[in-house]
Amino acid sequence: MTSILLKSPTLNAPTVRQLSNGLTIVAEQMPVEAVNLNLWLNVGSAIESDEINGMAHFLEHMVFKGTPRLANGEFERLIEERGAVTNAATSQEYTHYYITTAPKDFAELAPLQLDVVLNPTIADDAFERERLVILEEIRRSEDNPRRRTFYRAMETCFESLPYRRPVLGPTSVVESLTSQQMRDFHSYWYRPQAMSAVVVGNLPVEELIDIVEEGFSQSTSFNTQLRVQNSQFFIPEAPLQTLFAENMSMKAYNKRDW
């Protein structure tokens, strides 16, 4: 039995490619009639300060409110008319965005996904409308006994760590956030060095990688400069600063030529 297991082919054999701009692409061809592109960012409530708690989740909503290329609602229309799906989520340590399409549509729809993530307009009027949606989401979560119990448990267990903060943020903070703060937050954190693009489906691996790389190049042409007016709220507090420093040191160590 052991010999049979050892001779069995590997079920998953992804190709990992890191681009010169720091973006990591993980790709694998799979025998399913679909392609999924999932963009993972090292951005969540754990990197927020108390003054902007809830910003990462709020930004996840605003990403879908238009870009210089796509009007508000156009991205969803183009996705849905091809029978594709899209969604997103925010947690303590990550934000991710995904689309699932037919293989024949992937080359056309993947650049749209990259565009909305990298180039959100974050218009003032759309920001104010979406703030009301976020506040209602907070109210509904506080009305849910299971969620409320979870929040209190996190506050108690992680009293000295950033995990004590709710992903949605408190009402008082969300009410005080500004659209300029969000534009700064996006410019500071939504960079290729903090992103991984995972793409799997029934297309050749090199084709999957080429589509993502080309789409990323097109999208970043709109966002080539870091435009941050005030980054003081974007610096992780001490415990995570230590973890980030150790993580970067390990990455530098692994890149050495031996």
CA pair distance 239, 226, nearest whole angstrom: 26
pLDDT at 227: 53
Least confident of 10-14, 35-39, 143-147, 186-190: 10-14
- pLDDT category at 258 given cuts 50, 70, 90 is very low
> How much is the average pLDDT of 5-18?
74
Write the pLDDT tens digit of every residue in 194-243.
999 999 999 999 999 999 999 998 887 555 444 555 555 556 566 555 65
Residue type, 41: L
The residue with greater pLDDT, 18 or 12, is: 18
Is residue 123 scored above 70 in pLDDT?
yes
Q: What is the mean pLDDT of residues 85-105?
A: 97
- What gap in Å lies between CA 54 and CA 38, rounded to an integer? 22
Q: Note the pLDDT of residue 18.
A: 93
Over residues 159-164, mean pLDDT:
88
d(CA 107, CA 109): 6
| pLDDT score of 69 more than 80 | yes
Please, are residues 17 and 28 in contact by the beta-carbon 8 Å criterion?
A: no
pTM above 0.75, yes or no: yes
Report how far residue 54's alpha carbon sits from residue 58's, in angstroms, rounded to the nearest whole number: 6
Contact present, 61 and 134 (Cβ < 8 Å): yes
Q: Specify the amino acid at residue 97.
A: Y
